[in-house]
Structure 1
Amino acid sequence: MTETTSTLVETSSVGLTLAGRRILESIDLAISPGEIVTLIGPNGAGKTSLLRIILGLQKPDSGHMYRRPGLRMGYVPQRISIGPTLPMTVLHFLSLPDRQPRAKRMKSMEELGIAHLARSQLHTLSGGEFQRVLLARTLLRDPDLLVLDEPAQAIDFIGQTELYRLIDRVRNERGCGVLLVSHDLHLVMAATDRVICLNRHVCCSGEPETVSQHPEYQAMFGPRAAQALAVYHHHHDHHHDLTGAPVESEDTSEREKEETSHAR
């Protein structure tokens, strides 16, 4: 393992077996401050198990797990439900379990554009509003690393886009690292720096456009999923190999014309 002072978390050859079934094999992953990393893969790929290992909730049975000393992590789970039988305002919810000062709770809500919901009952919120509340609660801990498990579930497409833009802004303003879990690469394409495609092992990793063209990604999600990413393609003066490393192009203009025609 080659962790540095800038690395927030790093796994090296991490493996996990549960009930006689191999869940993870030789997982290498590192996240740095200010970086958004998206973990994708089909159901049963081991994404949740890897999150649990990173969060310290599960010990791997092989390999090594490194966390920067004093690392503060914030976690937004995939599902949480609070029904009308438990009346609770947003402001009260943000005080649990650590009673943060009211001013800090309000500032966190203002940062996410939900200060007007302070006295609203949780069960009356939309999916997008509730996800922002969960994120605000997590930010109260001033995390160095945000871990978000399928944060856009139960949110419409426009709401998903807004949420990912918000996560990107939080990363830029706070300088924290972000680990996202998603089934859909095309939904997080514009907001992520690096993608790790997981199916028990790391199938491929790199920039989103690179991963979408990788044979193992296309084998898992199909070529139509990769084609859906074309709308997000951007033009630059280089391209990337299958590891995500930049490679200078000899004829940028011709490649840009080709990418534009594919995106139509």
Structure 2
Amino acid sequence: MTDPLVTLDNATVRFDGVIAVDHINLKVSRGDIITIIGPNGAGKTTLIKAVLGIQPLSEGAIHRQAGLTIGYVPQHLHLQPTLPLTVKRFMALSGVPAAACREALEQTGVGHLLAASVHHLSGGERQRLLLARALARKPDLLVLDEPAQGVDINGQAALYDLIRQLRDRLHCGVIMISHDLHLVMAATDKVLCLNQHVCCSGHPEDISRDPAFIETFGQSVAESLAVYHHRHNHQHNLHGDVVAAGDSDSEHRECSGHGHH
């Protein structure tokens, strides 16, 4: 068994004495998809900034595998609206060779947009571009902060499908933050419910029955999640439309493209 990519041991972050993240223990290995959920102000972004190494810990420790490469997909892309910028130029700014950039764009389904203006992309196309920029570095670990932000419901389902496919193809680890509870419950292997401390963690189908989850998100949300899953036997295109049937694999991957927040 290989060593974890990242290990957090009692990771704690305080800002002016106020606890943002409290004694978090977490291991992320290759092949994992771990989703962090929780209410606003729960410390989710602070936690992934600690994983990225841009937020120092107040207490505890974080261990990263030697030579670890992390690809990061931020929640928002902030660009000067008056700055002309094509997809090709945007990818080139990452400093990654052109061939690797083109490959990453193809992997995320936006290779045909090389000459397009970044400013004119749809929400789904922009998020796939950000994902491509992270993938171009050939990461061992993908860290995604609200990867489906600004994407419509069908596009969200397609994006979470893509993340799973990339995990399978690249055998990387994935940590992501999400508020899209219905969709993410079907797209992840493990859920970490955070509210400064870890309220509960485990497989998605178990989390929806956990008293701490119910207390945080409410009985109605928990009940709707418990009956939401169905077998994943199809694929989505860039816009979330079902395009092909697939065989059920050994993991019985699940899909949820028809849910509501």
* Fold-level similarity (TM above 0.5): yes
Q: Would the aligned equivalents of 1:83 and 1:123 in 2 still touch at CA under 8 Å? A: no
- Tell me how far apart the structure 1 counterparts of residues 226 and 199 of structure 2 sit (CA, whole Å): 21
User: Alignment partner of 1:228: what SS?
Assistant: helix
Contact 2:208 2:226 in 1 (8 A): no
Q: CA-atom RMSD, angstroms?
A: 1.4
Structure 1 residue 8 corresponds to structure 2 residue 9: no
Query: After superposition, what is the alpha-carbon deviation per residue over 1:185-211, rounded to whole angstroms, capped at 9, x for unaligned?
Result: 212111100000000100100001111
Gaps of at least 5 residues in structure 1 are 236-264
| 1:183-202 matched pairs, under 5 angstroms | 183-202=179-198
Q: Is the 8 A contact 2:145 2:176 kept in 1?
A: yes
Query: Is the partner of 2:92 in helix, strand or coil?
Result: coil
Q: TM-score, normalised by structure 1?
A: 0.84
Report the equivalent of 1:170. Answer: 166
Q: 1:32 aligns with which of 18, 29, 39?
A: 29
TM-score scaled by structure 2?
0.85
Give the equivalent residue in structure 2 for 1:71: 68
- Displacement of 1:43 in angstroms is 0.5
Q: How many matched pairs?
A: 231
Identity %: 51
Q: 1:101 Cα deviation (Å)?
A: 2.8
SS in 1 for 2:30: coil
Letter paired with 2:170? R
Question: CA offset at residue 84 of structure 1?
Answer: 3.5
Shift of 1:115: 1.1
Deviations 1:10-50 (A, max 9, x none): 10111111022111111001101011000000001011111
Task: Give the alignment partner of residue 62 of structure 1, picking from 59, 64, 69.
Answer: 59
Q: Could you say which residue in structure 2 is the equivalent of 1:89? A: 86
Which runs of structure 2 are paired with 1:214-225 in the superposition (5 Å)? 214-225=210-221
Q: Which protein shows a greater Rg? A: 1
Judging changes above 3 Å, is the alpha-carbon distance between structure 1 residues 103 and 217 closer, same or farther for their aligned structure 2 residues?
same
Alpha-carbon displacement from aligned partner over 1:150-200 (angstroms, at most 9, x marks no partner):
011111000000000000000000000000101232121111000000001
* Residue identity opposite 1:108 in structure 2: A
- How far is 1:231 from its partner? 4.3
Alpha-carbon distance in 2 for matches of 1:234, 1:114: 28
1:49 alignment partner, SS class: helix
Separation in structure 2 between the aligned mates of residue 231 and residue 91 of structure 1, nearest angstrom: 43
Matches within 5 A, 1:39-50: 39-50=36-47
CA deviation after TM superposition for structure 1 residue 109, in Å? 1.1
How far apart are residue 83 of structure 1 and its match? 4.7
1:63 Cα deviation (Å)?
1.0
The answer for unaligned runs of 5 or more in structure 2 is: 232-261
Deviations 1:113-143 (A, max 9, x none): 1111000000000000000000001111000
2:135 corresponds in structure 1 to 139
Distance 2:163 2:177 in 1: 13
